[in-house]
């Protein structure tokens, strides 16, 4: 049986705006499911379903003004259970159902009118309340930006985003700790304080994912020693890594990009790589510009030059700007792996841990190989797992095949 769904008695309100349509053609609904949301000058109110059924048609849209009695949808009502009485024909049973339908509609009209005249409560539609229930959000804490303070889906999204923009943890109170033993107090350098703030902001605002990989640098080390035997300037393992990154970053510019206004990506056609350098004042990241134009010897010279300037505190401001990607190497310090934190506005950073010797079975023979652990942290808003995996595989290939070049 089909029933026309009409706008109920609106009390004193004449034209009321539909601010949300919660149904669509062909949708199955149950009794008390929200159908539409109406907004008067005082409140936003739902029109609930009176019966289980299927929506046959929807005749209104959001933003439309309606008045009492307007048909806004048609519902195919499921037959209600009826006690079987063979002495009564089926026609009478159906008529009884129609009478009951009309009575319930009249009761709903009355209840709706009473509710519409009540100001207060949560001014939102069913879709918003559904989202809030699923995410465990208290709608009373959200200020609606819609008409008469109506809470929209965008309001909920903005509220969720604001929760992620948390403030840094407050410093511990000295008075809470000073009675447990002897201690000294030291002032942190401006570099350390600035670095701590930047790291916190990066970690709390960027969805970090880290991809780990191991690279066999046995043959590369042989290649490096041959070059160092004939070269005036010694070439480090880091120089090879920087060169490999410059090649792959140009090939896969998504990891050499920056997320800019309106969600657009700035894909850079140049490679400037920041090299993290530890100093007595804290971590500093000078930048090697246009790495794609440099050979291994020139890269190694630049690394040594910038590291020396950083430790002697003679870096210029231009030496610290413009990086498109960063490499943080623990070198001989040790560790089997770590998660480097992205340096915004970059979207990727490569961590390098200490190389280790391992025994591997190759061609049915046990052989000693030199393995370098790498870790790529990336901004998951921009870079997906496939991008990161392919990037690391190409870095691995280049480093394991330098001796063939």
- Just list the catalytic residues: 380
Q: How far is CA 279 from the centre of its chain?
A: 33
Residue 151 DSSP one-character state: B
Distance (Å, whole) CA 92 – CA 88:
7
**Tokens read off for 380:** 């998951």
Largest CA distance in the chain: 111
**Tokens read off for 340:** 């480097």
**Tokens read off for 47:** 């029109």
**Which positions ≥6 away from 170 have C-beta within 8 Å?**
none
Q: Which of 74, 61, 75 is nearest to 21 (CA)?
A: 61
Beta-ladder partners of 287: 274
**Which positions ≥6 away from 90 have C-beta within 8 Å?**
none
- Tell me the helices (H) and strands (E) count for the chain, helix number first: 8, 19
Q: Where are the strands (E) in 223-319, listed by range?
A: 257-259, 265-267, 273-275, 277-279, 282-284, 287-288
Distance (Å, whole) CA 97 – CA 80:
8
Determine contact, residues 383/348, Cβ cutoff 8 Å: yes
Determine contact, residues 330/276, Cβ cutoff 8 Å: no
Determine contact, residues 39/13, Cβ cutoff 8 Å: no
């Amino acid at each position: 049986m089909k029933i026309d769904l009409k706008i109920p008695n609106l009390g004193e309100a004449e034209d009321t705006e539909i601010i949300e349509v919660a149904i669509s053609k062909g949708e199955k609904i149950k009794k008390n499911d929200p159908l539409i949301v109406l907004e008067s000058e005082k409140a936003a109110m739902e029109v609930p379903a009176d019966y289980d059924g299927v929506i046959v048609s929807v005749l209104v849209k959001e933003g439309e003004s309606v008045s009492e009695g307007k048909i806004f949808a048609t519902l195919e009502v499921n037959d209600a259970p009826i006690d079987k009485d063979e002495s009564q024909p089926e026609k009478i049973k159906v008529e009884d159902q129609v009478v009951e339908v009309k009575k319930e509609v009249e009761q709903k009209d009355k209840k709706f009118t009473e509710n519409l005249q009540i100001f207060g409560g949560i001014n939102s539609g069913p879709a918003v309340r559904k989202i809030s229930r699923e995410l465990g959000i208290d709608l009373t804490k959200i200020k609606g930006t819609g008409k008469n303070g109506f809470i929209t889906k965008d309001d909920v999204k903005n509220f969720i985003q604001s929760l992620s923009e948390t403030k840094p943890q407050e410093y511990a109170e000295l008075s809470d700790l000073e009675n447990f033993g002897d201690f000294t107090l030291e002032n942190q350098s401006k570099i350390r304080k600035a670095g701590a703030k930047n790291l916190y902001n990066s970690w709390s605002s960027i969805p970090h994912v880290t991809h780990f990989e191991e690279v066999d640098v046995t043959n590369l080390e042989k290649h490096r020693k041959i070059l160092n035997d004939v070269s005036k300037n010694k070439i480090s393992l880091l120089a090879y890594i920087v060169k490999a990154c410059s090649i792959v970053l140009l090939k896969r510019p998504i990891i050499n990009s920056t997320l800019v206004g309106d969600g657009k990506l700035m894909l850079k056609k140049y490679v400037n790589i920041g090299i993290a350098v530890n100093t007595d004042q804290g971590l500093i990241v000078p930048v090697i510009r246009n790495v794609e134009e440099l050979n291994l010897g020139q890269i190694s010279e630049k690394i040594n030059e910038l590291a020396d300037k950083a430790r002697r505190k003679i870096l210029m401001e231009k030496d610290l700007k413009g990086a498109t990607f960063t490499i943080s190497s623990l070198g001989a310090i040790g560790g089997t792996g770590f998660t480097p934190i992205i340096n915004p506005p970059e979207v990727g950073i490569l961590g390098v841990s200490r190389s280790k010797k391992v025994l591997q079975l190759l061609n049915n023979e046990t052989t000693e190989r030199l393995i370098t652990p790498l870790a790529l942290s990336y901004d998951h808003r921009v870079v997906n797992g496939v991008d990161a995996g392919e990037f690391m595989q190409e870095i691995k290939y280049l480093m394991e095949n330098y001796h063939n070049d």
